[in-house]
Amino acid sequence: MMFHHRISFKLAKLPAASVLAILLSAIPAAGWGDGLTIAPIEQPYVHSLEHEIELHSVWQHRLDDQPNQIGTTLSAAVANRHNFLLELSASGIDLPESRPQATSIEIEAKWQLTEQGQYNADWGITLELEREVTLNRWEAGTTLLWQREFSDWIATVNGKLYYEWGSNYSNEIETSLGAQLRYRLSSLLEPTLALHLSQDTGAIGPGLWLHQRLAPGRRLNWQLSLLQGFKTTTPEQTALIAVEYEFY
CB 200 within 8 A of CB 36: yes
Q: How far apart are CA 23 and CA 7, in angstroms?
A: 17
Which domains are assigned to the chain?
2-247 (2.40.160.40)
> Quick check: 173 pLDDT over 50?
yes
Q: Please give the average per-residue pLDDT across 34-44, as a whole number.
A: 86
Which pLDDT tens digit goes with each residue over 49-107?
Answer: 999 999 999 999 887 767 778 889 999 999 999 999 999 999 986 655 556 667 899 99
Does the global pTM surpass 0.85? Answer: no
Which pLDDT tens digit goes with each residue over 119-145?
Answer: 999 999 999 999 988 778 899 999 999
> Quick check: 30 pLDDT over 60?
no
Model confidence band, residue 222 (pLDDT cutoffs 50, 70, 90) = very high
Cα 185 from chain centroid?
Answer: 22
Q: How far apart are CA 166 and CA 129, in angstroms?
A: 13
Alpha helices in 39-189 (DSSP H): none
- HSE-CB for 172 with a 13 A CA cutoff: 13
Judging by beta carbons within 10 Å of its beta carbon (0-12, 13-18, 19+), is residue 79 exposed, middle or buried?
buried
Model confidence band, residue 5 (pLDDT cutoffs 50, 70, 90) = very low
pLDDT of residue 130: 95
